[in-house]
Structure 1
Amino acid sequence: MITALLLFWPALAALLVLLIKGQGAKKVAFIAALVEFALALYAISAFDASRGLAQGVLNFPWVESAGISFHIGMDGISLLMVLLTTFLVPLIVLSSFKHDYKDPNVFYALILFMQTGLIGVFVAMDAFLFYFFWEVALIPIYFIAAIWGGANRVPVTFKFFVYTIFGSFFMLAAFVYLYFQTGPAGAAAHSSNINAFYQLSLDTGTQSWIFWFLFIAFAIKMPVFPFHTWQPDTYTESPSQATMLLAGIMLKMGIYGVLRWLLPVVPLGVSEWSELVLILSIIGIVYGSIIAIRQRDMKRLIAYSSFAHVGLIAAGVFTLNDQGLQGGVIQMLSHGINVVGLFFIIDIIASRTNTREISNLGGITQTTPALSIFFMILLLGSVALPLTNGFVGEFLLLSGVFQYNAWFGAVAGLTIILGAVYMLRMFQGVMFGTRSTYTENFTDLTLNEKAVLIPLVIMVFWIGLFPNMFLSISEPAVGQLLNIINR
């Protein structure tokens, strides 16, 4: 029952928000998002972390004649992704309060509709239900970016839409083929249930092409090199709240899809191609970091930083060892928290100065002790300073990659060095030095802005100091995943 509430509450709230005219819509959307977070906290309190199987399961026929069911539930991996989503959405809504968006009821309703799609992806246990929510999550973010984005929003969002739809067709084709392989030989009855897919025994050649169909769909969403070209422009042109949704939560759909549907369904295909994926991921780490160093627009710099960090997560996941998989799960949490905080700080600076160019800024720290502290903490979490959230995930990921191949681990480890270079250079250029005409009247954080940043900073230290609270939730599910892969 709790899983169904988590899934449907944002959609119901979105319908209510649509009926509210004026700026009152944002307040109702914020309250609705807080209720959703409270539901997630209740789900955690009722969750038995010692079990690797899904809990809070709801399963009834959806298209009964075709063997398609409305099957939802949460294991430890799903629960952490639901927690991340429900934690970030109210903060993203709250971060928008200083903006007066046109048609606010539509804007906030789309955010809540997207939350339903995201939750649906993380709890779906039927392949076609997963595909349905995968597409549901795409539609709202497309309209948010296309309507409220920057000057080049139309061609940029069209490119994003084409990329993601292209990947979705590959995923749908793979799911349809797998669906027809289920059931006894010659039987008319088939199933799209996740367990039916897990029990399939396909030859290596078949699993290889299915691997690539699924991987392309998930790699575009993450994104992984060379499927990333939509990302920097989309992140830059989208309104800040859309960028936070994309970077903080939506890209996790791709990584989650790998964990839930790719690795356990086609393990022979994964074994055949995992080394190539690792190489592509590591190329993405180095390439993204080098391009980030060259950026002068803060938002674009963080976009390439996110691309590099996701490359490390993908590399760790495809090592197929416990450290890599656990590191990938915990780093999805940490990356979502850090990147949302950083994009929000960039939004604060841009809204006060009307520029995101690093060369136009400087001297901000002279009058902004609160902003300086929050900015530095989130930055240090992003560059994996010990005792912060980023350190836990990156340590496990690099440990997993080193275990797979020491040379791969050495190159992947450059993410820490290069990340420190571009992040600290950005901080120095924006916050230190002499004031410019853009920053001479810069003011410190408002109460509303502190209300967004304080929970994020708390989580930076909470995950960094007490990682076992989160790792213990996902550990049984990761162990179950490894058992399925190695069967």
Structure 2
Amino acid sequence: MNVSLILIILLVGAFATFLAGDKLASKVALLFGLAAAGASIVLLNHYNLGENISFINQWITQPNISFALKADGLSLAMVLLTTVLTPIIIFSSFGNEFKNSKSFYALILFMSFAMAGTFLASDGLLYYIFWELSLIPIYFIALIWGNGDAEERKKAVVKFFIYTLAGSLFMLVAFVYLYQKAGSFLLEDLYKVNLSAAEQLWIFLAFFLAYAIKIPLIPFHTWQANVYQKAPTVGTMLLSGIMLKMGLYSVIRWQLPLAPLAAKEYMYIFIGLGIAGVIYGSIVALKQKDLKKLLAYSSLAHVGLIAAGSYTLTLDGLRGAVLQMIAHGFVVVGLFYIAEIIFRRYETRVIAEMGGIRSQTPKFTSMFLILVLASVALPSTFNFVGEFTVLYSLSQINIWFAILGGTTIILGAYYMLKMFQQAMLGETNTRIFTDVTSNEGITLVLIIAVLFFFGMYPKPIIDLITPSLEEILIQINRIN
């Protein structure tokens, strides 16, 4: 099977959605989103049969640039996350009306196309192009269809765009330097380059700036909370559920194998930065009065732990990080959708203005509680598998890393349950809160089903990603 088929479906879907007009745009976008998800599953089956899933074609002769795509277990896991969440996110938006909806849904598919391309690209410059392309649709989605004051929204979105673009330029410089050494941008050729310790340090830091901003890690996180709050919920879902995983994936795929000496030398510093994000994000989340901002800082804490696991340079750390990436993608999309459902009824995201919802909506309350418990890594949920594995890897490096990293569970349980109590319990609100519609219920049930299924049986994903991660570890541990 040609791996480029997934990208073709998403790109053609973006154009078809735009041409379909406002009335049909959402349905056409959903159709192409489901088609891309189906193509990803077919691709997975071919991979499991032992086929070499790659596509390479000479694009530009001088400099030597190839349109090179490769699907191994790691990239397939991230493509599946992208193509499965995309139709879920599109379907979740059916309860809202958007002006110029054909452009809105076309941008969603185009963003999915760019993110899938980032995960599949095995040529450094092609990867960089997809990486930058993903910025364009989210910029317009947040700017045009976002919430709140237009001027404040513009400032938040422009800050995000400039931050991420500036960080990416350092990564481009690193690729150009590596090209001069390898004579090619192909990943397999870049892996073969022998760099001195000093060269690796500069390459490592250049990639780190790009990834730390995208993930984000402290102190590069200042754009996150405002953009998450100002963007429409669909945009926030795309950012938190998929886009930030581009940075985490790239740490494992590009940064660590290309500069392993620097990764080993400064391991403790970067693990410390990740854990600092866990503690900082959790403490700030405790003080939030806006539901979307609370979830934004909660996400900051969780991705800090994922990054810390990646920088342990152990199989358990990398495997736990990837598992937690996927689990976090589903649970954070579910939680932001919960915030959207409440906003549809009460037109507020202020937690203090909610309350008393439980007595009116038992179904919604039950699903909300399940997502809250999944977020705090309750055993039998997918998040528990990922977080436990990451904490175990941290304990292998230093037991204090595991203890400090574990605060994400303790503090997370406190602020998430406190938020649930304030939003859902208490006296009955004077405003009526209708229970979930069929569309809302289907969306939440799908997300919860994934969290429970892989929480009880993570083996398919573990088996998928482990061979790729072992190959990356061999590259990290090579003699320079």
State the TM-score bracket (shorter-chain normalisation): over 0.9
CA distance in 1, matches of 2:279, 2:432: 38
**Superposed displacement of residue 99, structure 1:** 0.9
**Superposed displacement of residue 436, structure 1:** 2.9
Q: Does 1:360 align with 2:348?
A: no
CA distance in 1, matches of 2:20, 2:65: 36
* More moved, 17-26 vs 103-112: 17-26
Q: Structure 1: 5+ residue runs without aligned partners?
A: 183-189
**Superposed displacement of residue 67, structure 1:** 1.3
CA distance in 2, matches of 1:201, 1:406: 34
Q: Does 1:89 align with 2:74?
A: no
CA distance in 1, matches of 2:252, 2:388: 19
Work out whether residues 383 and 455 of structure 2, in 8 Å CA contact, stay in contact via their aligned partners in 1. Answer: yes
Q: Does 1:376 align with 2:373?
A: no
The correspondence of residues 53-452 of structure 1 with structure 2, limited to 5 A, is 55-150=52-147, 151=149, 152-182=152-182, 190-437=183-430, 440-452=431-443
Aligned-partner residue type, residue 206 of structure 1: E
CA distance in 2, matches of 1:389, 1:280: 25
Work out whether residues 2 and 55 of structure 2, in 8 Å CA contact, stay in contact via their aligned partners in 1. Answer: no
Aligned-partner residue type, residue 37 of structure 1: A
**Superposed displacement of residue 423, structure 1:** 0.5
Hey, what does 1:187 align to over in structure 2?
none
Aligned-partner residue type, residue 450 of structure 2: M
**Superposed displacement of residue 435, structure 1:** 2.4
Aligned-partner residue type, residue 67 of structure 1: N
Hey, what does 1:39 align to over in structure 2?
39
The percentage of counterpart residues that share the same residue type is 46
CA distance in 1, matches of 2:164, 2:381: 33
Among residues 465, 483, 486, which one is paired with 2:474 in the alignment? Answer: 483
CA distance in 2, matches of 1:345, 1:55: 40
Aligned-partner residue type, residue 19 of structure 2: L
CA distance in 2, matches of 1:273, 1:163: 24
Work out whether residues 296 and 359 of structure 1, in 8 Å CA contact, stay in contact via their aligned partners in 2. Answer: yes
Aligned-partner residue type, residue 468 of structure 2: A
**Superposed displacement of residue 7, structure 1:** 1.3
Work out whether residues 208 and 272 of structure 1, in 8 Å CA contact, stay in contact via their aligned partners in 2. Answer: no
Aligned-partner residue type, residue 23 of structure 2: Q
Q: Secondary structure at the match of 1:337?
A: helix
Deviations, residues 161-187 of structure 1 (Å, cap 9, x unaligned): 0110011101101000011011xxxxx
**Superposed displacement of residue 24, structure 1:** 1.2
**Superposed displacement of residue 65, structure 1:** 2.4
Deviations, residues 19-64 of structure 1 (Å, cap 9, x unaligned): 1222211011011101111111111122138x7xx93100110112
CA distance in 2, matches of 1:281, 1:142: 26
CA distance in 1, matches of 2:88, 2:363: 18
Deviations, residues 230-261 of structure 1 (Å, cap 9, x unaligned): 00000000000000000000000000110111
Moved beyond 3 Å, runs of 4+: none
Aligned-partner residue type, residue 327 of structure 2: S
Q: Does 1:457 align with 2:454?
A: no
Aligned-partner residue type, residue 459 of structure 1: V
Q: Secondary structure at the match of 1:62?
A: strand
* More moved, 21-30 vs 286-295: 21-30
Q: Secondary structure at the match of 2:95?
A: coil
Q: Secondary structure at the match of 2:304?
A: helix
Work out whether residues 2 and 39 of structure 1, in 8 Å CA contact, stay in contact via their aligned partners in 2. Answer: no
CA distance in 1, matches of 2:476, 2:419: 42
CA distance in 2, matches of 1:166, 1:64: 28
Aligned-partner residue type, residue 486 of structure 1: N
CA distance in 1, matches of 2:300, 2:382: 18
How many aligned residue pairs are there? 475
Aligned-partner residue type, residue 66 of structure 2: S
Aligned-partner residue type, residue 231 of structure 1: Q
Work out whether residues 54 and 68 of structure 2, in 8 Å CA contact, stay in contact via their aligned partners in 1. Answer: yes
CA distance in 2, matches of 1:459, 1:351: 25
Aligned-partner residue type, residue 263 of structure 1: L
Q: Secondary structure at the match of 1:72?
A: strand
Work out whether residues 241 and 329 of structure 2, in 8 Å CA contact, stay in contact via their aligned partners in 1. Answer: yes
CA distance in 1, matches of 2:297, 2:409: 14
**Superposed displacement of residue 401, structure 1:** 0.6
CA distance in 1, matches of 2:277, 2:375: 17
**Superposed displacement of residue 299, structure 1:** 0.5
CA distance in 1, matches of 2:2, 2:415: 43
Deviations, residues 327-352 of structure 1 (Å, cap 9, x unaligned): 00110100000000000010000111
Deviations, residues 121-150 of structure 1 (Å, cap 9, x unaligned): 000000000000001111101010011112
TM-score of the two chains, using structure 1 as the length reference: 0.96
**Superposed displacement of residue 320, structure 1:** 0.5
Q: Secondary structure at the match of 1:107?
A: helix
Q: Structure 2: 5+ residue runs without aligned partners?
A: none
* More moved, 310-319 vs 407-416: 407-416
Work out whether residues 357 and 429 of structure 2, in 8 Å CA contact, stay in contact via their aligned partners in 1. Answer: no
Hey, what does 1:186 align to over in structure 2?
none
